[in-house]
Amino acid sequence: MHGRPPNADDRAGYDYQSNAVERPDLAAALRARVDGDVRFDSYSKLLYSTDASLYEVTPIGVVCPRSTDDVAAVMTYCASEAIPVLPRGAGTSLGGQTVNEAVVLDFSRYMTDIVSTDPDGRTATVQPGVTLGSLNETLAEAGLKFAPDPAWGDKSVIGGAIGNNSTGAHSLQYGKTDAYVEECEVVLADGTVTRVGEVALSDLPELAAGDDLESRIYAEVARILDEEADLIEETYPDLKRNVSGYNLDWLVEDIRGAARGVGEPDGTGETVNLAKLLCGSEGTLAIVTEATVSLEPVPETKSMALLSYEGLLDAVDDVSAVLEHDPAAVEVLDDVFLDLARETAEFAPVTEMLPAGTEAALIVEFYAESDADGRQTVANLLADRCPSAEPGDVASPAEGRTASDQPVVAFDALEAHDEDERARIWKLRKSAMPILLSRTTDEKHASFIEDTAVPPENLREFVAEFQEILEEHDTYATFYAHAGPGVLHIRPLVNTKTGREQMESIADAATDLVVKYDGSVSGEHGDGRARTQWNRKLYGGDLWETFRQLKTAFDPDWLLNPGQVVYREDDPTRMTENHRVGSDHEVQVDFEPTLSWETENGMAGMVELCHGCGGCRGDQSTTGGVMCPTYRASQEEITTTRGRANALRRVMTGDMDPDEAVSAEFLTEVLDLCIGCKGCAHDCPSEVDMAKMKAELTHEAHQQNGATLRDRLFARVHTLSRVGSALAPLSNLATSVPGSRYLLERTLGIARMRPLPTFCRRTFRDWFDAREQTVSPAAADRTAALYPDTFTDYSNPDAGKAAVRVLEAANVHVTVPAGVGDTGRPAFSKGFLDRARNLARENVDALAPLVESGRDIVVVEPSDAVMLQSDYRDLVSGTDVETVADNTYGVCEYLDTFSLDESVTFERATDDVTYHGHCHQKATAKDHHAVGVLRRAGYAVDPLDSGCCGMAGSFGYEAEHASMSDAIASILLDQVEESAGECVVAPGASCRTQFEGSDRTAGTPQTPIEAVADALDE
């Protein structure tokens, strides 16, 4: 959390909750016992009713504890009332283990401290809500890390990693979370607070001697180890990764002194560690309130090869031979996934790097002591597994290198030694699941058998037979992920509304197949609601009974996340129950949408695109990107894109009153805080566009409830600016009259501390009309119509002048088109879609003929450029719209796209600048252009991996949003302070206002085009 909570300001009109509170008595009883938040309102309950799985169960209520005492108080009270309790982290689980009819304890809200680190002893003690990303960020200074690396580790937390026994792509090297959890403070099912960790076997009888819950737990563990160790050893599959059932095999290995590569037990067979048993227990045995974990050194460097195959079977067949080279990770990607990735804006450039004909690929990563070392390892691998590949530019294969006797099947390969390149490939791999779920139809690559594991040498037969199962079920799947340890993410295409029986039948057959190949139904994501059903078949009736006895010993009344891992006979967990989407599931809006939703399968299709992965919970420092600034500032689930999409879905399915979506409360708590930055449209791997949905719903709310005067004024900021300019300088003085800003806040709700835009009497157009053209159309390389957007025309003509100077220096003939002005951006953002559409139509009518006569449309203000390029397509239809949209450019985008600035002579500028891009440009992947142009103009540029500035058009001006806006800004200002740049350059007018109003930066930044113009050699 950055600075004050965003709703701490008196003017902030939101508390993230609804007024509809259920079970007020229970809520009051808990509130009397805890310091943390107790939320039993309908919005909070719906937010915690889903996770990243197919499932949905409405919880009883939500508590965000602040301390172990809070947790113990909740558990003690709930135990006394026989109320189930569910500990939860980021809710990114894929099996449904984080939804239940229970009181949810959300650890990610407050219990996020890194209690202590001990670099010498290589341990850290943390609260359960700390994300793996932020823990590793803290540890980086000491060259250490928490080694398990689940793909979503920058969003998911330690408590969740323990609950699921998580691991990631580098499990070949590091194993799972159980290898690193040394000791835990826990709250037991009766509210007892205790610690579990390593104990001597000789101490077990004494620990088990009492009559309290803790003693009974030790007694049962001792019994199981005494009576069932042989059965456990024989039955558990011999895999690097198995997270089905309880982690009893670890304890048996402990007492038998088994040696492991990682997290090695002392090998004496004299100790046992119950903290390991909690790993993978999915919140069903005890609640972790603090964990001490061991750490690993960060490798010096890494190297990577990407091997190309003609098909999936070839790729998985090659895994065993690749493993002989001792890689840290081996991941497989198949054709189904690669084809989908090729269609996304974000990943198409990455897939383009792949050699032609790549139908499947293995990503092979090595840890290395040095760059040369890494290159050598890759060269050795390629010499063995893909000799036809072009050798890397440095290393040639070493003498005596590993050479497998398996036939070569890879037909080509590429190497990635550069960190950014490797990061791009990993991002592609890690976004596989959300990309797969980006279909807007009911048929989706659903997650229900998606992490089967078999020994790698069995992969080929396993995959081939799995494909037969799928064919028998009239479908196909994508196969990807951790081929090295034998874990495949298999996602069959099924109709999520009508295909439950089909899913169950596939899962049943898949369980038989993993049993046949000595595998497990879950090598990664845990049992949850999707796989608990199969544990009896996987482990047999005797061990199933053992699981039940263990559960009963820990949790006599089965109150902790009941139904996961193991179930009671009278209450079986069926994978077909509690699906979020059922055959009668109909997502619809009961008004006629105004925007075009054709490509999204209707507005409903867009809402359903959100599958709950939690990607929008990422922290700026660990994930970068824009999405979702409001969550980053507030850490509240309701302010994530996921939270908003969930709320909208519940309204649109009729689970909530349909009028709710346009009610004042819903707009305030759910939609108002979406600042419309469009970050999700780009950063969400499924491209959920919440800004567009917000515009649609706000429009409908205006139709039903009318609009406020302030909204109407902001929507007409162009008219206000025109008047302000005509009356300047008087208009500028008006707001400096003492008391005027206070009055504006009281009457219109415009935050008094924000600098208001000032207006120039002489507009950009006035200046342009009065000047001589310096480039004749006949001699010009290109001709451009420079759009006089509102801010450039009336408030910052200097930016327009700079654009003209630079364009003309690049031999572009520039005109300023008549008959255009307001692009409609403010009206669109404020939900006045009829006005925005009329303006779009007028502007398209004026601009299309210009484009047809050979002119390009160039815009200085980024949000206006993106309005023409992107949002017009949703507002109006016709080829002229497409023509205008396709030929509109931001000014730096224009220079960069056509390499126009390369012919310009610049005096070498000396400034080091910090560049903060505009979110709308980031959302449309156009942000990089300005950086390239500034660099060619001679600037040393530090492009910030920044999110939104928090102003977002009018958002930051609104008094009730000012504190949220400040909280978002402070993330950006932290980045600016850390940057080496001497001054900031920012293209967006709102962003520059945010900087201008801050006492943490000096003055108002220039636009990039002004900085480029300053560097001209004139």
Ligand X SMILES: Cc1cc2nc3c(=O)[nH]c(=O)nc-3n(C[C@H](O)[C@H](O)[C@H](O)COP(=O)(O)OP(=O)(O)OC[C@H]3O[C@@H](n4cnc5c(N)ncnc54)[C@H](O)[C@@H]3O)c2cc1C
Residues of this chain that interact with ligand SF4 (CB under 6 A) are 434, 610-616, 626-630, 641-642, 644-645, 674-680, 684, 686, 688, 690-691
Q: Give me the least distance between CB of 331 and ligand X, in Å please.
A: 10
Peptide bond into 892 cis (omega under 30): no
Q: Give me the least distance between CB of 433 and ligand X, in Å please.
A: 4
Question: How many angstroms separate the most distant Cα atoms in the chain?
Answer: 98
Contact 56, 49 (CB under 8 A): yes
If the CB atoms of residues 287 and 409 are measured against ligand X, the closer one turns out to be: 287
Contact 456, 320 (CB under 8 A): yes
Q: Give me the least distance between CB of 686 and ligand SF4, in Å please.
A: 4
Question: Out of ligand X, ligand SF4, none, which partner does residue 128 contact, by CB within 5 to 8 A per kind?
Answer: ligand X
Residue 699 has a CB neighbour count (10 Å cut-off) of 25
Question: Out of ligand X, ligand SF4, none, which partner does residue 641 contact, by CB within 5 to 8 A per kind?
Answer: ligand SF4
Q: b/e map of 25-60 (b: 16 or more CB within 10 Å)?
A: ebbebbbebbebbbbbbbbbbbbbbbbbbbbbbbbb
d(CA 486, CA 629): 37
Q: Give me the least distance between CB of 12 and ligand SF4, in Å please.
A: 16
CA torsion through residues 900, 904, 908, 911, sign:
negative
Q: Give me the least distance between CB of 432 and ligand X, in Å please.
A: 8
If the CB atoms of residues 59 and 676 are measured against ligand X, the closer one turns out to be: 59
If the CB atoms of residues 523 and 612 are measured against ligand SF4, the closer one turns out to be: 612
Q: Determine whether 120 is exposed, middle or buried from the number of CB atoms within 10 Å of its CB (0-12, 13-18, 19+).
A: exposed
Nearest to 163 by CA among 128, 136, 198, 124: 128
Phi then psi for residue 308, to 5 deg, are -100, 140
If the CB atoms of residues 92 and 376 are measured against ligand X, the closer one turns out to be: 92
Question: Out of ligand SF4, ligand X, none, which partner does residue 831 contact, by CB within 5 to 8 A per kind?
Answer: none
Nearest to 496 by CA among 8, 54, 999: 54
If the CB atoms of residues 155 and 782 are measured against ligand SF4, the closer one turns out to be: 155
* Residues that bind ligand X in the complex, under the rule CB under 6 A: 51-52, 86-94, 97-98, 107, 128, 150-152, 156-157, 159-161, 163-164, 166-168, 282-283, 287-288, 433-434, 524-525, 561, 613-614
d(CA 511, CA 60): 33
Unique residue bearing structure tokens 């504890």? 65
Phi then psi for residue 140, to 5 deg, are -55, -35
Q: b/e map of 122-133 (b: 16 or more CB within 10 Å)?
A: bbbbbbbbbbbb
Question: Out of ligand X, ligand SF4, none, which partner does residue 90 contact, by CB within 5 to 8 A per kind?
Answer: ligand X
Question: Out of ligand X, ligand SF4, none, which partner does residue 42 contact, by CB within 5 to 8 A per kind?
Answer: none
Contact 948, 632 (CB under 8 A): no
Contact 448, 530 (CB under 8 A): yes
Q: Give me the least distance between CB of 615 and ligand X, in Å please.
A: 7
Question: Out of ligand SF4, ligand X, none, which partner does residue 900 contact, by CB within 5 to 8 A per kind?
Answer: none
If the CB atoms of residues 520 and 924 are measured against ligand X, the closer one turns out to be: 520
Phi then psi for residue 173, to 5 deg, are -85, -40
Question: Out of ligand X, ligand SF4, none, which partner does residue 674 contact, by CB within 5 to 8 A per kind?
Answer: ligand SF4
d(CA 1007, CA 987): 5
Question: Out of ligand SF4, ligand X, none, which partner does residue 691 contact, by CB within 5 to 8 A per kind?
Answer: ligand SF4
Point out which residues pair with 361 in neighbouring strands.
Answer: 308, 333
Phi then psi for residue 118, to 5 deg, are -130, 85
If the CB atoms of residues 489 and 642 are measured against ligand SF4, the closer one turns out to be: 642
Virtual CA dihedral for 287, 290, 292, 296, nearest 10 degrees? Answer: 90
Question: Out of ligand X, ligand SF4, none, which partner does residue 87 contact, by CB within 5 to 8 A per kind?
Answer: ligand X
Q: Give me the least distance between CB of 8 and ligand SF4, in Å please.
A: 20
Question: Out of ligand SF4, ligand X, none, which partner does residue 702 contact, by CB within 5 to 8 A per kind?
Answer: none
DSSP 8-state symbol, 780: -
If the CB atoms of residues 428 and 802 are measured against ligand SF4, the closer one turns out to be: 428
d(CA 699, CA 702): 5
Q: Give me the least distance between CB of 415 and ligand SF4, in Å please.
A: 31
Q: Give me the least distance between CB of 609 and ligand SF4, in Å please.
A: 6
If the CB atoms of residues 286 and 381 are measured against ligand X, the closer one turns out to be: 286
Question: Out of ligand X, ligand SF4, none, which partner does residue 628 contact, by CB within 5 to 8 A per kind?
Answer: ligand SF4
If the CB atoms of residues 263 and 988 are measured against ligand SF4, the closer one turns out to be: 988
Q: Show the tokens assigned to 211.
A: 């009559």
If the CB atoms of residues 642 and 801 are measured against ligand SF4, the closer one turns out to be: 642
Q: Strand order in 983-985's β-sheet? A: 940-943, 912-915, 983-985
- Find the residue with minimal CB distance to ligand SF4: 615
Q: Give me the least distance between CB of 306 and ligand X, in Å please.
A: 19
Q: Show the tokens assigned to 299.
A: 């490798």
Question: Out of ligand SF4, ligand X, none, which partner does residue 386 contact, by CB within 5 to 8 A per kind?
Answer: none
Q: Give me the least distance between CB of 167 and ligand X, in Å please.
A: 5
Question: Out of ligand X, ligand SF4, none, which partner does residue 92 contact, by CB within 5 to 8 A per kind?
Answer: ligand X
Indicate left, alpha or beta for 612 from its phi (over 0: left) and psi (-120 to 50: alpha): left
If the CB atoms of residues 90 and 341 are measured against ligand X, the closer one turns out to be: 90
Q: Give me the least distance between CB of 948 and ligand SF4, in Å please.
A: 7
If the CB atoms of residues 614 and 826 are measured against ligand X, the closer one turns out to be: 614
Question: Out of ligand SF4, ligand X, none, which partner does residue 89 contact, by CB within 5 to 8 A per kind?
Answer: ligand X
Q: Give me the least distance between CB of 748 and ligand SF4, in Å please.
A: 23
Contact 564, 97 (CB under 8 A): yes
If the CB atoms of residues 91 and 757 are measured against ligand X, the closer one turns out to be: 91
| Helical packing angle, 641-652 and 602-609, nearest 10° | 140
Contacts of 680 (CB under 8 A, 6+ apart): 616, 627, 628, 641, 687, 688, 689, 690, 691
Q: Give me the least distance between CB of 44 and ligand SF4, in Å please.
A: 17
If the CB atoms of residues 166 and 376 are measured against ligand X, the closer one turns out to be: 166
CA torsion through residues 162, 250, 532, 54, sign:
positive
Determine the length of the chain. Answer: 1018
Virtual CA dihedral for 645, 649, 651, 656, nearest 10 degrees? Answer: -110
Q: Give me the least distance between CB of 677 and ligand SF4, in Å please.
A: 4
Q: Give me the least distance between CB of 676 and ligand SF4, in Å please.
A: 5
Q: Give me the least distance between CB of 666 and ligand SF4, in Å please.
A: 15
Q: Show the tokens assigned to 926.
A: 């156009």
Question: Out of ligand SF4, ligand X, none, which partner does residue 98 contact, by CB within 5 to 8 A per kind?
Answer: ligand X
Question: Out of ligand SF4, ligand X, none, which partner does residue 524 contact, by CB within 5 to 8 A per kind?
Answer: ligand X
Unique residue bearing structure tokens 């989908």? 340
If the CB atoms of residues 323 and 587 are measured against ligand SF4, the closer one turns out to be: 587
If the CB atoms of residues 631 and 915 are measured against ligand SF4, the closer one turns out to be: 631
Question: Out of ligand X, ligand SF4, none, which partner does residue 684 contact, by CB within 5 to 8 A per kind?
Answer: ligand SF4
